[in-house]
Amino acid sequence: MGGQSSKMANTDVPTPIKMGTHSLYAADLSSYEAACVEDPNLQSFDATIQERTNRVISSLANGIEVRSISIESLGEVTGSLLEMNQEVVKVILECKQDIWSKKDKELFSLVEDFFENSLQTLDFCNALEKCLKRAREKLVVVKSAMTYFEEEVQNGVEESTYLKTLQGLKDFKEAEDPFTKEFYSLFQSVYAQQVSMLKKLQIRKQKLDKKLKSLKTLRRVSNCIFVAAFVSVLIFSVVAAAIAAPPVVTALAGAMAVPIGSVGKWCNSLFKGYEKALKGQREVISSMQVGTYITLVDLNNIRARIDQLDIKIESMLQNADFALRNEDAVKLAMDEIKKKIESFAEIIESLSEQADKCSRQIRRARTVVIQKIIKYSG
């Protein structure tokens, strides 16, 4: 690309690089000028480059008329190029910590935590199903007591002799509690992990958003490298013109011209690669964030239904206990229990559906995150 600027005219003098609207580098220069307007740091770099370029051109100007150049002037050229390279290095080093940080390590640490938390939440869903199995067994027991009561009422049994009903209520009261202390402990652990995970993801996403907004830092690096290379070619073109373009200097000018196009492409590739990496990370983080949020919503819904079921069971146990302590109040107690049996069964089935829904959404979230990682890694 840049080699076109070193083509030789009939006088064997390299054609100076044009900086007008039809220049080979017009688009890049326009982009650089626009960036200078918006970026104070790039303005400072540009001022330094201009000062050193003008100094070199002035040093060379004296030799142009006599078509010769002094050793001191060549030294000025070499020193200026080294100084410009140092300016570029300085900009890169200032940006290095932000651009080439250990982002992947932090990202995949979050991914590992996400998958570990999701597995533990799936374990919780399985534990919930076991609890619901015990709740169904308890429901069967109380339904049996209700059946005994209805049979004994039809048989005209006196309230003080509801033997089968009372035995059924006793079995209901002694039946294992569906939700154990271990289950509640597991729920608290899983819930706390998901809350912590969501906070970590929010913080990481905020950092990525800030980096995406500050991509002008990397664009500054790109512009610095481009303009340094451009000015280098310009200086060598002046040197070549000043000393009638001997073969060595002509070769240098041509060699310096060639990298401009490739450097520009490399810088653009670097910028786009960084932007793509940040957006890829953001997609991974966002997918985990959505999955974690949905899991927390499911856990909150499950907790609310468990509380309802606990209240329902406790109320029915109080009714059963009242009947067992006051045999004359069996009919009253059974009427109250009958009102609650249907809603008791409904809550159990609702919890089962929510547990299944939570499991499916966790698996779906895991799949989405894996797909995002594959896309990001590719």
pLDDT, one tens digit per residue, over 226-260 is 666 666 655 655 555 555 445 544 544 444 444 44
Closest by Cα among 367, 197, 202, 372 to 295: 197
Q: Indicate the range of 26-30, 80-84, 303-307, 323-327 predicted with least confidence.
A: 80-84
Q: What are phi and psi of 17, to 5 degrees?
A: -70, 125
Q: How many Cα atoms within 13 Å fall on the side-chain side of residue 75?
A: 3
Sign of CA dihedral 329, 332, 335, 336: negative
Query: Please, which pLDDT band fits residue 3 given cuts at 50, 70 and 90?
Result: very low
pTM of the model: 0.65
Angle of CA points 200, 206, 210, to nearest 5°: 145
Q: What is the mean pLDDT of residues 352-376?
A: 90
Q: Which amino acid is at 143?
A: K
Q: What are residue 8's DSSP bridge partners?
A: 14
Per-residue pLDDT reduced to its tens digit, 122-146: 999 999 999 999 999 999 999 999 9
| CA distances from residue 288 to 198, 200, 205, 285, 364 in whole angstroms, order as listed | 8, 11, 11, 5, 11
pLDDT digits (tens, 9 = 90+) for 171-218: 998 988 999 999 999 999 999 999 999 999 999 999 888 888 777 665
Q: CA torsion, points 61, 67, 73, 76, in degrees to nearest 10?
A: 70
Q: What is the pLDDT of residue 152?
A: 84
What is the C-alpha separation between 239 and 315, in angstroms, rounded? 98
H/E stretch holding 338: helix 330-377
Tokens representing 355 are 């547990």
**Residue whose C-alpha is closest to residue 362's, from 273, 274, 294:** 294
Please report, for residues 82, 97, 180, 209, the alpha-carbon distance to residue 222 in angstroms, rounded to integers and kept in the order given: 18, 16, 62, 21
DSSP state letter for 72: H
Mean pLDDT of all residues in 274-282: 82
pLDDT of 255 reads 45
- CA atoms of 49 and 225, how far apart (whole Å): 11
Hey, is 76 helix, strand or coil? helix
Neighbouring CB atoms inside 10 A of 308's CB total 16
Residue type, 72: E
At residue 98, does pLDDT exceed 60?
Answer: no
